[in-house]
Chains A and B, each alone.
Chain A
Amino acid sequence: MTEISITVNGELQTHDVEDRTLLVHFLRDHAGLTGTHVGCDTTQCGACTVHLDGRAVKSCTILAAAVDGAQVTTIEGLAQGGELSDLQQAFKQHHGLQCGFCTPGMVMAGTDLIRRYDGELDEHTVREQLEGNICRCTGYTNIVKAVLDAAGKHRAKRT
């Protein structure tokens, strides 16, 4: 057992964990944040996507001990002051959440994507960049609409 401290959604989480603990287990089983899902467990589906020091990563394939001291944001940390983020609202509006299981990962990947491109996105780029997130229920149509909508809001807010 090793004591590990990770700042999750702005709050320092210190827990004794085994070396084999994956970041997703640290978040779900130790920090009690169950919004981050395990879909495939093989680094393919993206349901476990969180932001590690500001970048989207798959938390099912990262050891918690390897990110001791880091900053992590999960789906629970996106809403500010009880208000959903632009992308979360867009998912609601365009019915992007569908089955819901992969939604947290989609939203985390989409948020990172909008930030990396500073909102300058077109449909082709969104589809290509969501390659690491698997949705088995539709052709991603509503998810892509939601990301493009939130990207537009991001551009409008930019100074």
Chain B
Amino acid sequence: MYMYEFAYRRPKTLAEAAGLFGEFDNPSFVSGGHTLIPTMKNRLAAPDVLIDLRAIPELNGIRRTGDRLEIGAATTHFETSTSEAVKEAIPALAALAGSIADPQVRHVGTMGGSVANNDPSADYPAAVLSLGADVVTDRRSIPADDFFDGLFGTALEEGEIILRFSFPLPDFAGYAKLCSQASRYPVAGSFVSRRGTGVRVGVTGAGNDGVFRWTEAEAALAADFTPEAVEGMEPDAGGMIADLNGSAEYRAHLVAVMTRHALRSPGTAYVR
């Protein structure tokens, strides 16, 4: 099927990208295109120009700088999953990247595209929120706690470009998810991290408002960092998604189960 007509541009600098964004009526940035192009095929979005960000140097590269790991927004899931720097600094993040979709999609989809899209069932938002990363854009640096804003919503303004993600290194990180048998997107996924005495639990796939921090579990784990500490706890089912993949009560239970799996599997992504 041929798509409707639109223009495609591949700027080499941020200034050029910003300029192009101003020239068209209904522009859209594109990175891997593995969310946007299917959306356009279904006519759920109809930009008149796609401005490809991948050739801009500021969006590329993975760097370890002291106690932080910086990953360019245009980095593919495959690059993140195989990067020695990521595997050494935050192995659970590399494992999560390697668990997204299938090999062909991982060769093209990018972290920037996934996080900018903030699909309520995407994997990366759980990691970005749990690890307390900063989302660095061409205008400012946004702490993860201020970035995600409901289903598909983010703090990004019109024309704002994510350049990279800056992750503080955790002492512990683990991820666990149960995937939908049809789409393989998480029905519930929990990313648990600890840095010093601070514990953060980022939950994806389950919340009515998208990715969220399960603060009750965080408090319990800050006192006792063991799977037993969250035994018997569940997030409020009132805030959970109910759909074909499961009821709200099932989801609430699953979040608890996945959180315990994440605690037992440091450095990995436990996928069921």
Contacts and interface: CB of A to CB of B under 8 A. Distances in A.
A and B bind:
yes
Interface of A: 2, 18-22, 25, 38, 41-43, 46, 49, 52, 55-58, 61-63, 65-66, 109, 112-113, 116, 129, 131-133
B103 A56 contact: yes
Contacts, number: 78
Contact of B38 (A20, A42, A112): A42
B33 A66 contact: yes
Interface of B: 1-8, 10, 33-34, 37-38, 41, 50, 52, 54, 78, 101-105, 107-108, 184
9 contacts: A18-B5, A19-B5, A21-B2, A22-B37, A46-B102, A56-B103, A58-B104, A63-B50, A131-B102
Contacts of A113: 103
Which of B37, B41, B78: most chain A Cβ within 10 A? B37
Nearest to A63: B8
B34 to A, nearest CB: 6
A109 B105 contact: no
Nearest to A38: B1
Contacts of B50: 19, 63
A57 B109 CA distance: 10
Given A20-B6, A57-B108, A61-B38, 4 more contacts: A19-B6, A46-B102, A62-B37, A116-B103
A57 B104 contact: yes
